[in-house]
Amino acid sequence: MYADMDAASSSANTSEDSGADFSVGRTSPDGSPLFNASYSDSTIETRFTSLSDLLPSDDASFSQVRRSNLPDILDPTTAAGVVIKNICFIGAGYVGVPTAAVIALKNPFLRVTVIDRDEFRIRRWNSAHVPISEPGLDDIVRLTRDGSKACSVEAVKSSLAQRIGARSSKISIPARQPNLTFATASSKSMAEADMIFICVNTPTKVTGIGAGYATDMTAVESVVKEVAVNAKTGAILVEKSTVPCRTAKLVQDILDTYRPRARFQVLSNPEFLSEGTAVKNLLHPDRVIIGSSNTIPGRRAAAALAKIYSTWVDRSKILGTHVWSSELAKLVANAMLAQRISSINSISAICEGTGADVHEVAKSIGLDPRIGPQFLKAGLGFGGSCFRKDIGSLVYLARSLGLHEVGDYWNQVLLINDLQRKRFARKVISRLNGTLIRKKITLLGFAFKKDTGDTRESVAIDIIRVLLEERPAEVAIFDPCCSVAGIQSELENLGGHDALNVYADPYQACLDADAILVVTDWDNFRMASTPDHTNIKRPQSPTDLTSSTSTIVADRADGFLNLSKDQYLPEPPCPSNCPECAYSFPSFNTEEHLEWARISYHMKKPKLVFDGRGILNATEMEKLGIRVEALGKAESGFTLF
């Protein structure tokens, strides 16, 4: 797979490179010539002859002035004269909309427009059926998209009132004008924008040079061309998407090619939010990184962006860097986080062979402040749309620079992640006596992590693939947040299979299961924190699947806004034939815990539950007759002493 990469740096004049379809061109680390219509193939060849071509020093537009002589981006005077009134976000996805909505919320005098070519997505953002399930997001979208009514709230309950020292028992909140719009029409929104955020997807290439590792820049390239044609001169382009290091040069090259006389500034402002906590992360970021060129206009553009963030982010958390550092920092942040997960997962395999408990090991090492407790949760490994692709991009970058050992080092993080899923699936098969024929296996969870309905790079798919090879009678799937139709469409990647069934009810999914696999760390799948087995209502008959469950307090992001429900304006009405109104979502109340006693009653012996996320208390489950097998703990029956 990598053989082509070295060849590419010395001989780019291949059939892939010379074709007009840029989607299959090299994208990292220095793909800009391939995206620049003005370069001939011979130009490309000259530019790829040595490693020094890949280094920033050759790039005048990004390194004109020594950094020490540049104005401070946090100094409000640096942005003087840069007027930002209209902002356009391109890409109405998991990053584009939460970021746009929070910027709109905190900057009521800015007009924010989110555009996307996906009409279905835009229609849903303009409806009561927002397409992304993210705690707190629907509140912010409603407030910024629809505006709000004036109202008063009880001061005693309001942290806002406490902060402003209000004496009255009520404080008045004025009406708010809408300042967030969703649209498919792109050229007008781009033409009006003073600042344009690129938030489109940057997946891994699936074919061509670097397939499986390099970033597919098709969407970025396409929107930058549109921006070049439509944007007003002086507009600031912000890379919000995660992109390979030196993409800003690629962007600048495209702009120069299509609008040679216009002047644009290109910034890098990577996003670090995690799904499930996106609103929380955006409202309280650890840091905001703004990368710019080493030029005065570059720093002024960075200062203008810093000013927008500083309406709610402490200036000490806003860091100005060179654009290459900012682009690379995003890949490195994800690689370091994922590396911790693979490191602890590699230890989980050792634990299984030695009798140590990986959770005890993780806790023990996490107490060392130099190591810290975060991202040491052993289990099925990382899924999601980011970690795999971003490490792939880093591996590709290193190998393209001839740093093969460095590439191999980071690639090992991916290999350990794959291994963990395989080990889990093999463990299930082995515990079920090596055969799944005539057996029902239930997967609890399909989303790549809790508190999201996102199924991209779901761990579940890989596990199901292995299970299906053993020809089970049924693989049943339940997730509290993913729609049945959404899971079914993901399963189509497996080529469709009669044995696969998606349930909207967890108890139906678990009925008569030979084994249950906990695949996502949903809090609902944990046992209630104070289990009292004497009080657990046992079903009277195997068909009694109706009893209610205990309640947990969900860690939701609501309340961030100090909002009274009286403030909301009515949501846009749905047409009578609204397809989303007919969508089937799980009937399960997402603020309830599963009743494991009830599940146990309906399971087949030996009542095996495989805990892929380390969220179940094996001792408590044993009281219900359930045997829990987990990654990172000694094999059942293993005794050292």
Ligand X SMILES: NC(=O)c1ccc[n+]([C@@H]2O[C@H](COP(=O)([O-])OP(=O)(O)OC[C@H]3O[C@@H](n4cnc5c(N)ncnc54)[C@H](O)[C@@H]3O)[C@@H](O)[C@H]2O)c1
Binding site for ligand X (CB under 6 A): 90-96, 116-118, 121, 199-202, 219, 222-223, 241-242, 271, 273, 275, 385-386
- If the CB atoms of residues 91 and 381 are measured against ligand UPG, the closer one turns out to be 381
The DSSP string of 453-489 is: ---TT-HHHHHHHHHHTT-BSEEEEE-SSS-HHHHHH
Specify whether the CB–CB gap between 186 and 119 falls below 8 A.
no
Residue 389 is assigned to a ligand binding site: yes
Q: How far apart are CA 145 and CA 335, in angstroms?
A: 35
Instruction: Select from 230, 242, 411, 567 the one that contacts ligand UPG (CB under 6 A).
Output: 242
For residues 104 and 125, the answer to whether their CB atoms sit within 8 Å is: no
Tell me if 330 is assigned to a ligand binding site: yes
Active site residue 386: yes
Interactions with ligand UPG, residue window 387-416 (CB under 6 A): 387
Q: Pick the closer one to ligand UPG by CB: 521 or 629.
A: 521
Contact present, 525 and 594 (Cβ < 8 Å): yes
CB of 364 to ligand UPG, least distance (A): 15
Separation CA 132–CA 93 (nearest Å) = 8
User: Among all residues, whose Cβ is closest to ligand X?
Assistant: 93
Q: Is 397 annotated as a binding residue?
A: no
Q: Which is nearer to ligand X, 111 or 449 (CB)?
A: 449
Q: 379 is in the binding site of which of ligand X, ligand UPG, none (Cβ under 5 to 8 A by kind)?
A: ligand UPG
Interhelix angle 358-366/323-354, rounded to 10 degrees, is: 130
Report if residue 478 touches ligand UPG, rule: CB under 6 A. Answer: no
Q: Which helix (H) or strand (E) holds 321?
A: strand 318-322
DSSP strand pairing (86-90 vs 288-292): unpaired
293 CB-near residues (< 8 Å, 6+ apart) = 61, 62, 63, 64, 248, 265, 266, 322, 323
Q: Which residues of 404-420 are buried (b: 16+ CB within 10 A; e: fewer)?
A: eeebeebbebbebbeeb
Task: Supply the minimum distance, in Å, between the C-beta of residue 272 and ligand UPG.
Answer: 4
The whole-angstrom separation of Cα 309 and Cα 303 is: 10
Among 228, 255, 337, 608, binds ligand UPG (CB under 6 A): 337
Q: From the CB of 110, what's the least distance to ligand X, in Å?
A: 21
607 has binding-site annotation: no
228 binds ligand UPG (CB under 6 A): no
Residue 432 is given by DSSP the state T
Helix (H, G, I), strand (E, B) or coil at 539: coil
Q: Is 142 in the site for ligand UPG (CB under 6 A)?
A: no
Q: Which residue, 193 or 391, has its beta carbon nearer to ligand UPG?
A: 391
Task: Answer yes or no whether residue 376 interacts with ligand UPG by CB under 6 A.
Answer: yes
Stretch 424-463 residues interacting with ligand UPG (CB under 6 A): 448-449
In order, the DSSP letters of 84-123 are --EEEEE--STTHHHHHHHHHHH-TTSEEEEE-S-HHHHH
Q: Is 134 in the site for ligand UPG (CB under 6 A)?
A: no
Q: Does the annotation place 462 within a ligand binding site? A: no
CB 613 within 8 A of CB 448: no
By beta-carbon proximity to ligand X, the closer residue of 357 and 390 is 390
The Cα angle at residue 599 between residues 593 and 604, in degrees rounded to 5: 155
Scan residues 512-571 and list those touching ligand UPG (CB under 6 A): 521
The reply to whether 215 sits in an annotated binding site is: no
Asked if residue 48 belongs to a known ligand binding site, the reply is no
Report how far residue 26's alpha carbon sits from residue 463's, in angstroms, rounded to the nearest whole number.
32
Q: Give the one entry of ligand X, ligand UPG, none that residue 201 binds, where binding means its C-beta sits below a cut-off of 5 to 8 angstroms depending on kind.
A: ligand X
Question: Binding site annotation covers 116?
Answer: yes
| Cβ-based nearer residue to ligand UPG, 324 or 387 | 387
Token pair, residue 573, equals: 């009405």
Residue 528: HSE in the Cβ half-sphere, 13 Å Cα cutoff? 18
Give CA angle at 6 (4, 12), nearest 5°.
Answer: 75
Does 98 sit near ligand UPG (CB under 6 A)?
no
Q: Which does 358 bind (CB under 5 to 8 A by kind): ligand X, ligand UPG, none?
A: none
**Nearer to ligand UPG (CB atom), residue 12 or residue 376:** 376
Output 200 or 476, the one with its CB closest to ligand X: 200
CA distance 330 to 572: 37
Q: Which of 351, 386, 482, 510 is catalytic?
A: 386
Q: Are residues 174 and 567 in contact, defined by beta-carbon separation less than 8 angstroms?
A: no
Query: At which residue do the structure tokens 């104070």 appear?
Result: 530
Q: 11-45 burial, b if ≥16 CB within 10 A, otherwise e?
A: ebeeebbeeeebbbbbbbbbbbbbbbeebeeeebb
Question: Residue 242, annotated ligand binder?
Answer: yes
Which residues in the 260-299 window bind ligand UPG by CB under 6 A? 271-275
Could you say which of ligand X, ligand UPG, none residue 341 binds, taking C-beta under 5 to 8 angstroms by partner kind? ligand UPG
Stretch that binds ligand UPG, among 116-124, 141-149, 383-391, 590-598 (CB under 6 A): 383-391
From ligand X, ligand UPG, none, which one binds at residue 334 (CB under 5 to 8 Å depending on kind)? ligand UPG
Give the annotated binding-site residues for NAD(+).
Answer: 116, 121, 202, 242, 275, 389, 456
Give the annotated binding-site residues for substrate.
Answer: 272-275, 330, 375-379, 383, 449
Catalytic positions are 386
Residues that bind ligand UPG (CB under 6 A): 242, 271-275, 334, 337, 341, 375-377, 379, 381-384, 386-387, 448-449, 521
